[in-house]
Structure 1
Amino acid sequence: MKNPIYRSVVELRAALGAGEITATRIVDAHLEQIFVHNRAINALVTVDETGARESARESDEARARGEDPGPLHGIPFTVKDMFETKGLRTTNGHKPLANNIPERDATVVARLREAGGTLLAKSNMPAQGMDIQCENALFGATKNPWDLSRTPGGSTGGEAAALAAGMTPLGIGSDIGGSLRIPAHYCGVFACKPTEGLVPRTGLLLPGTVNTVRHMVACGPMARSVADLRLALRIMAGPDGVDPSVVPVPLKEFPLRPLKDHRFAWTDDFGGLPVTASTREAMEKLASDLRDAG
């Protein structure tokens, strides 16, 4: 594999297993992509260059010793800046936390590391994750890689922009009312909001109080393929003994069914919201294509 940029996690795993590339090469390539493009896009706010290179070196040495590499061994990932990362700044996009250095990893970060993943950087977000754009007083605005005059959406906008720009193959974010799904849509990548009680929120800097929106927050993956989402979610899911909302329910593999066995509901304006003519035409075409498929 000559160029690991824009490759899926599944593809990178296969190339690592076949000896076609090293973890060091993968991390170096993504760091170079960050150095070239992040100044204009502002997707990543804290880059752990030293830690990422050291982790990649250790991954290569472990593989050379024939050790079990783990499902993410040698794969870099980035996380939204509201997840605690041990020894690495975590601000929640909030000025009072500008110099906050956690002493622990959030559970999902720890699990990705334990699976062999290499933490590459922290991504930008609106203050405390409470907006559908991606701008804060600490780091400024993140731009959409497809059009720098537009937003990548929010609140997990930094992750979506980084994925779309090839700065990372895998991202981790959070979602209440679309914070993973909206930026994924804006940037042309994939995201999943897991069912409540599936993924621990331990180490996530949650907004509000216990009785407001906190119970609605879900931690989930963002990537450039559905297969990568499935892989990451299996690593992230399950009780951690700290978050009482997470139950020990195993993830199931659901069989693929033909489109004719599904029913779809659709709207082009959600009952009266203004939409462009091109959006309306695209929705009508999608509905027609689904109807033609059975």
Structure 2
Amino acid sequence: MFHSETTFLTASRLAAAIREKKVSAVEAMEAQLARIALVNPLLNAIVTLDEEAARAGARAADLAIAQGDAVGPLHGVPLTLKDGHATAGMRTTVGLTAWADHIPATDSTIAARLRKAGAIIIGKTNVPPRLRDLQTVNPIFGRTVNPWDVTRTPGGSSGGAAAAVAAGLVPLEIGSDAGGSIRVPAHLCGVYGFKPTQATVPITGSYADPPDMPRSFRLLFDIGPLARDVDDLILAHRIIAGADGLDIEVPPVTTDEAPEPPLGELRVAFAPEFPGVPTARDIADAIAGLAGAIEASGARVGQALPSHDFAAERELFSDFITWYSQVFRQPREAAPSLAAYLEALNRRDEFIYAWERFFDDWDVLVCPAMMCTAFRHREMGAPIPVDGVETPYWSALSHACRFNLTGHPAAVIPIGLDREGLPIGAQLVGRRHSDMKLLATAKALARLTDGFVRPPGL
């Protein structure tokens, strides 16, 4: 098997090839390390790499196969982790200079579960400081660029993760998402991403703040995979989801794989844009085009959204993200009173109910993941052009962040390219706690697209 073929296998297919001895774990690892050596200097996606441990892990994986040992679903598969997931013995910085040399003694729940499944964690991918930006740049490691165009961003905060998956550096990554940080990079880099229902995946050892701070994000922050097909999203979610006995907000979770629904039985709502939210015409047209293909396949399709106040929903998300980001800073001027916080939670409940009533009538909503395709590198906060109109920087979260507020599961699938040849992703949203059904639906709808496309020139 040629190196170029190996490095662009999905995680599921690579694991199967290793189990079936079509390729050894050592061969797969060497191919992956060679790919990283060739491409990563251009992208700066992987910022910590332990080649010695990677090779040792691959040798151990081959020995287990030779001895006939029971192996997990990711046995021998090389993975990186976003640099906010604690990884025992491997630097984990959260993009902060104060933690540039921080080496955790124990694994996050995510890292531990991936290792138990047989994955070999070889390094960490770049993030913005405290995981808080639409782009991926920090003072320790510098800037990560988009594999489709190095003058443009891969997004943030899982930008290093998405760039690594898109460029064939690793087949699978685990990101985190407090306002679009999985879905925005998936859209910008042309890969698949999944934000599960809130409090479905433990965040034990996965940080959005320095690891010595009390936990601030009691809502909004979710953990999910990025991959090159939906099957890998399903596999990864089944591995990482469910109670760990440490994150007390995560209950036992059912992750039995749902059957792929017949397209003719689906009720699909679509929205080329949201009220008051800027959306590039190429993206709106691509969403409408996908909706037309879904309707032609036999599904019941309608252009529909809930009738609530989308601007107020977006504003409420901004309140929560501000409170959580600044609550432990001094002086604590941004912290709301208890009464104000409880009132905000009540308003959040109302938006959740509105979306749940919407999903009484629809199985899935197909909508944009972001207002534009990959934009050129800029200072944080500088306006972003949308069809030539300078648009406030943080407006770029407006399609994705509302589902962090309400906790609904949301996936992104690549659906085509814009007129500049940059990827467009569709965001698929479902009822709360319908994660496996939504992923099965994403798999069905992805069959109507060209799927993952390798970035040109790489």
1:205 counterpart SS class: coil
2:267 counterpart SS class: coil
Query: Are the counterparts in 1 of residues 135 and 156 from structure 2 also a CA contact under 8 Å?
Result: yes
Residue type of the alignment partner of 2:83: D
Pairing 1:249–2:253 present: yes
In 2, the alpha carbon distance for the partners of 1:253 and 1:26 equals 28
In 1, the alpha carbon distance for the partners of 2:277 and 2:207 equals 33
Pairing 1:119–2:100 present: no
Partner of 1:196: 198
How many Å apart are 1:77 and its aligned residue?
0.8
How many Å apart are 1:210 and its aligned residue?
6.3
2:255 counterpart SS class: coil
Distance of aligned partners of 1:38 and 1:197 in 2 relative to their CA distance in 1, 3 Å threshold: same
How many Å apart are 1:226 and its aligned residue?
0.7
Partner of 2:176: 174
Pairing 1:85–2:87 present: yes
Residue-by-residue CA offset, 1:49-87 (whole Å, 9 max, x unaligned):
111111111111111111112111101111000111111
Pairing 1:159–2:170 present: no
Partner of 1:227: 231
Structure 2 portions without partners, runs of 5+:
299-458
Residue-by-residue CA offset, 1:208-229 (whole Å, 9 max, x unaligned):
9868534321111111111111
How many Å apart are 1:121 and its aligned residue?
1.1
Task: Calculate percent identity across the aligned residue pairs.
Answer: 45
Candidates 42, 45, 48, aligned match of 1:43: 45
Residue type of the alignment partner of 1:271: P
1:265 counterpart SS class: strand
In 2, the alpha carbon distance for the partners of 1:172 and 1:257 equals 26
2:272 counterpart SS class: coil
Query: Are the counterparts in 2 of residues 89 and 102 from structure 1 also a CA contact under 8 Å?
Result: yes
Partner of 2:10: 8
How many Å apart are 1:269 and its aligned residue?
3.2
Query: Are the counterparts in 2 of residues 207 and 214 from structure 1 also a CA contact under 8 Å?
Result: no
Residue type of the alignment partner of 2:292: S
Moved more, 161-170 or 213-222: 213-222
Pairing 1:215–2:219 present: yes
1:215 counterpart SS class: coil
Distance of aligned partners of 1:65 and 1:211 in 2 relative to their CA distance in 1, 3 Å threshold: closer
Residue type of the alignment partner of 2:24: T
Residue type of the alignment partner of 2:80: T
In 2, the alpha carbon distance for the partners of 1:170 and 1:226 equals 11
Q: TM-score, normalised by structure 2?
A: 0.62
Residue type of the alignment partner of 2:164: A
Query: Are the counterparts in 2 of residues 206 and 214 from structure 1 also a CA contact under 8 Å?
Result: no
How many Å apart are 1:293 and its aligned residue?
2.6
1:94-173 residue pairs with structure 2 within 5 A?
94-173=96-175
Query: Are the counterparts in 2 of residues 193 and 219 from structure 1 also a CA contact under 8 Å?
Result: yes
Partner of 1:291: 295
Query: Are the counterparts in 1 of residues 126 and 137 from structure 2 also a CA contact under 8 Å?
Result: yes
Query: Are the counterparts in 2 of residues 169 and 223 from structure 1 also a CA contact under 8 Å?
Result: yes
Residue type of the alignment partner of 1:130: R
Partner of 1:18: 20
Candidates 277, 280, 285, aligned match of 1:281: 285
1:155 counterpart SS class: coil
How many Å apart are 1:138 and its aligned residue?
1.3
Q: TM-score, normalised by structure 1?
A: 0.94
In 2, the alpha carbon distance for the partners of 1:266 and 1:250 equals 28
| Corresponding pairs, count | 294
In 2, the alpha carbon distance for the partners of 1:190 and 1:253 equals 18
**Runs of 4+ residues over 4 Å off in structure 1:** 208-212
Moved more, 181-190 or 1-10: 1-10
Structure 1 portions without partners, runs of 5+:
none
Residue-by-residue CA offset, 1:100-132 (whole Å, 9 max, x unaligned):
111111011011111111001100011111112
In 1, the alpha carbon distance for the partners of 2:288 and 2:198 equals 32
Distance of aligned partners of 1:270 and 1:111 in 2 relative to their CA distance in 1, 3 Å threshold: same
Pairing 1:268–2:275 present: no
CA RMSD of aligned residues (A): 1.7
